[in-house]
């Protein structure tokens, strides 16, 4: 017979105690792993929502900016047209008021100036003299 250093009851107690500690350790590791994965999952979802919201805000802001640029270019074009009209009217020899008339041949509107208020023979349309 061989010599036993530990009593059988004590050996069983220490073995069961180590098994219980191992089970608790695995349980806490499993719980902490699950919590970590859950936090990462919700963090990923929150990041996706934030990015899509910022993209939506960026698109709306960009569309507003594009609309403002279109309006500015339209206003600038209208200003240039008005300046050209003023220049055209200021280049007339006399500042006789003009009338918008539909031309019989094209159906377009034209600026018509009478060259002599008492003489109905002269008619000027865009700088061309008609008699």
pLDDT digits (tens, 9 = 90+) for 88-97: 777 655 555 5
Asked, for residue 104, whether it belongs to a domain, the answer is yes
- Domain span at residue 108 reads 95-131
Measured in degrees and rounded to the nearest 5, phi and psi for residue 119 equal: -105, 120
Count of domains observed in the chain: 1
Asked, for residue 80, whether it belongs to a domain, the answer is no
Judged by DSSP in three states, 17 sits in: helix
pLDDT of residue 116: 44
Tokens 């970590």, residue? 36
Q: pTM of this prediction?
A: 0.42
DSSP 27-54: HHHHHHHHHHHHHHHHHHHHHHHHHHHH
Nearest to 101 by CA among 77, 125, 129, 122: 125
pLDDT of residue 91: 64
Summarize pLDDT for 32-47 with one digit per residue, the tens: 999 999 999 999 999 9
Average pLDDT over residues 55-62: 85
């Amino acid at each position: 017979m061989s010599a036993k250093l530990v009593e059988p009851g004590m050996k069983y107690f220490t073995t069961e105690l180590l098994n219980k500690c191992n089970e608790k350790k695995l349980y806490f590791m499993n719980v902490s792993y699950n919590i970590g994965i859950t936090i990462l999952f919700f963090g990923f979802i929150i990041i996706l929502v934030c990015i899509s919201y910022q993209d939506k805000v960026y698109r709306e802001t960009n569309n507003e900016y594009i609309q403002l640029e279109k309006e500015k270019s339209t206003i600038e074009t209208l200003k240039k047209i008005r300046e050209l009209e003023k220049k055209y009217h200021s280049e007339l020899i006399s500042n006789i008021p003009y009338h918008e008339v539909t031309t019989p041949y094209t159906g377009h509107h034209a600026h018509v100036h009478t060259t002599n208020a008492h003489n109905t023979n002269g008619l000027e349309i865009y700088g061309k003299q008609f008699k």
